[in-house]
Amino acid sequence: MTQPLDHIRVLDMSRILAGPWCGQTFADLGAEVIKIERPGVGDDTRGWGPPFMKDKDGVETEDAAYFLAANRGKKSVTVDITKPGGQDLIRRLASECDVLLENYKVGGLKKYGLDYDSLSKVNPRLVYCSITGFGQTGPYSPRAGYDFLIQAMGGLMSVTGEKEDMPGGGPQKIGVALSDILTGLYTTIGALSALAYRDKTGRGQHVDMALLDVTIASTANQAMNYLVTGKAPTMMGNAHPNIVPYEAYKAADHYIILATGNDGQYQRFCDVAGRPDLATDERFATNRNRVGNRDVLGPILNEIIAAKPRSFWLEELEKVGVPCGPINNLEQVFDDVHVQARGARQEVEHPVGGAIPTVANPIRLSESPIEYDRPPPVLGQHTDDVLSDVLSLDPAEIAALRDKGAI
């Protein structure tokens, strides 16, 4: 089946998560993604376990679940870029690729002649994507940047967590490396935009992506709340700064999420709760007033919701179109009938692990659906094939490179 990006070849020199997430998105959409890894070592995340993938006999392998999460559909080619022979291979591969992904420190690839200025001379049509913590410019640009650090510096942790004066209060990071994931997605958008520009002009360009920039941009309404008022938002636990009621509540047996996005939904909630007076009370009749009186309304709602079990709220609020749901762990997520109907869990055939699970890409295309037929690669699995097919090297030339430690 024809795939949207099956005419695109990507050279993925990135490691860990942000860059690989972008590369995996390209691969899911049909691009040929060549992942460059260190000989004998590979991407750092291959060792970020447990848990590790098991082989067909149930024995643990060297590949962690973390690596499997971000490298589906790629071809693994081992290259030692510190060796002249390895540098030459990268230059030759770059000349045959549309997109290059890298997440080395600023200037880290220049000493090898593999920076944008150098490779754009080899291939002026190349879209060269650099992912760093702080970007290619600015006083922090030389610093290393990791997701946890960036969540803190980008303001995300300042609005995540329970209020400091509450038990367990204080800043919290998100439970997944969200700054990395979002940077990978924004990089995909940036690369596709640069490819569209190339279609018009014939010229590639340098795409400069910073985890800090992405994290700040992703604070969205919280950032605008500050810019409009001059007052920095603070941690509010599960409460929403601009909507009430919109948070977690303890029912008689389990927690629920109640998310009333407008006054009509709030009114219908009040009817189900047997308290229509709360919808006509001037203090709570509009969202604006509810936000201003959240400290009064909150304890009332806590008492009301705690009086009935979760099943009551989920069933009755669903009937009247009020957004409400359970707080699921990941086992419950993948057991959910809707999640199963949407195909969130897929399987892909791995040369070592056999049929292994993978989390589906959330993009659903009607004419060119994503196919799960290319597993995460074994280290160096495609080295000989890529060097032969893309660079037309013969077996003797490949063997010579291996003898020199270049691959």
Tokens 């037929």, residue located: 373
Instruction: List own/partner pairs for 382-388 with CB under 8 A and 24 or more apart.
Output: 382/34, 382/75, 382/76, 382/77, 383/76, 383/77, 383/78, 383/407, 385/75, 386/34, 386/75, 386/77, 386/93, 387/77, 387/89
DSSP 337: H
Token pair belonging to 283: 């203090």
* DSSP three-state, residue 219: coil
Strand locations in 57-168, DSSP E?
60-64, 74-78, 99-102, 127-132
Contact 347, 353 (CB under 8 A): no
Catalytic residue, from 180, 281, 335, 384: name it.
180
Question: Could you count the other beta carbons within 10 Å of the beta carbon of residue 98?
Answer: 22
Q: Work out the angle at residue 18's Cα, subtended by the Cα atoms of residues 352 and 219, and round it to the nearest 5 degrees.
A: 140
Contact 212, 228 (CB under 8 A): no
Element (H, E) at 250: strand 246-250
In angstroms, the CA 40 to CA 329 distance is: 36
Whether residue 12 lies in the annotated active site: no
What amino acid positions are annotated as catalytic residues?
180
